[in-house]
Copies of this chain bind each other. A is one copy, B any other.
Amino acid sequence: MTLVTEPDHCTHSGIAASDRFAAVRRLTTKLCDPLVTEDYVVQSMPDVSPTKWHLAHTSWFFETFILRPHLPGYQEFDAHFSYLFNSYYVTLGDRHCRQNRGQLSRPTVEQVYAYRRHVDKHMQQLLTASEQLPGAIAPLLDIGLHHEQQHQELMVTDVKHVFWVNPMRPAYKPAPPREGSAITPLAWTSHAEGIRLIGHDGNGFAFDNESPRHKQYVAAFDLSDRLVTNGEFKRFIDDGGYQRAELWLSAGIATAKADDWQAPMYWIKQDGEWLNHTLAGMRPVADDEPVCHVSLFEADAYARWAGCRLPTEFEWETAVAESGASAATGNFVETESFHPRPASPTATGPQQLLGDVWEWTNSAYLGYPGYRPPPGALGEYNGKFMCNQFVLRGGSVATSNTHIRSTYRNFFPPDARWQFSGFRLARDA
């Protein structure tokens, strides 16, 4: 894994490895506080994994990549788990079929928590064994923790879907009340043409697919200073946007018809009013909030309808670099809210770049020039998915603050909608 890491891995922003480990692992279980046992078991569609699978898989990751090779005498918790909780690492052998994860009543939730405790205990033993974390372990710890943070977000998106398919419409947790605001008028920031340096600069952790940092010629462009809102998206719907094939990619309109899309995922029209399913239950769609749970297909069609286009990932990264934006602190765990926030009418410069919704770009997910997947099983982490996916940038309200980076490349197929995904507009200068 060509991970770009800091010189001293034992401390990361001055925090001891064992404390970082504990903090990330604690947040994972904290996210499960609102759940009952049955909620951990269900797989509501093939893309979704049961919560208990996420809890076990993230533990399996540390067990497989750190404890087994690096902790002498380590005994695996259960011989079945290497088969059950390997997600997609072909190099590591056969694994349980992804779409059947909801068919497993055992191990129980309690056994999965015991597995976590077992892994935690041995990880702490390893992390605290010496003053200085061994060089081989430091980058594996980094990737393990960022891997866990990815699954924290997936747990939230997945349980949201589990609650959605249930006619009883359970809520994850109540949301604090919020006042509607006037929609901030859309403005544009202009960006000059030139060769840009794209990709991670080597300070701190990054996934392999953010490297190598490389030159990219970017023509002059404008970027909208905020995300497209629910209110704006309603006008697209009202204008027949979902029926007008000329606005869509060919595969997009085919999907929209086959799956009967009439609005973003989680929206339901009731008595003439749009409601949407949230982690706090059904709520009226708020016009001032960024539209969320749309696919690349819908984002692309909207942009064409609006006479604009989606930005490329290079334009997006350029704009963030020029704006000096950084991830907002006080994200979801602290605020206990997963509702993307409206843009601020008083802010200047681009807003909502980091930590609001994942922003679809019109860039296919491919390796950067010079990219080579690292050898071994971890080489399967990102590289083998570079096909038929689009890049999303920026992180969402369900992304940990310490997991958000301006060079971070998330990727999903163009029809994916169950993530916290929205978009902003771009245009040629």
- Please pick, from B166, B312, B385, the residue contacting A106 in the complex, using a CB distance under 8 A: B166
- Please pick, from B219, B252, B253, B366, the residue contacting A364 in the complex, using a CB distance under 8 A: B366
Given contacts A195-B195, A364-B366, A386-B249, contact A106 B168 (CB under 8 A): yes
Q: Is A80 an interface residue (CB 8 A)?
A: yes
Q: Is A264 an interface residue (CB 8 A)?
A: no
Q: Is A125 an interface residue (CB 8 A)?
A: no
- Residues 91-135 of A, flagged 1 when their CB comes within 8 A of B and 0 if not, give 100001000101111111100000000000000000000000000
- Please pick, from B106, B252, B363, the residue contacting A38 in the complex, using a CB distance under 8 A: B106
Contact between A246 and B91, CB atoms less than 8 A apart: yes
Contact between B166 and A103, CB atoms less than 8 A apart: yes
What is the bound-complex CA distance between A385 and B254, given in angstroms? 12
Chain A interface residue count, CB cutoff 8 Å, equals 66
**Shortest distance in angstroms between A407's beta carbon and chain B's nearest beta carbon?**
18
Q: Is A167 an interface residue (CB 8 A)?
A: yes
Contacts of A380 in B (CB 8 A): 246, 250
**Shortest distance in angstroms between A101's beta carbon and chain B's nearest beta carbon?**
11
Contact between A167 and B366, CB atoms less than 8 A apart: no
- Please pick, from B38, B80, B217, the residue contacting A215 in the complex, using a CB distance under 8 A: B217
Contact between A39 and B105, CB atoms less than 8 A apart: yes
Q: A100-B165, A251-B385 given. 14 additional CB < 8 A pairs?
A: A36-B108, A37-B37, A38-B40, A38-B108, A39-B106, A40-B105, A42-B104, A84-B167, A106-B168, A215-B217, A248-B384, A249-B384, A369-B428, A370-B428
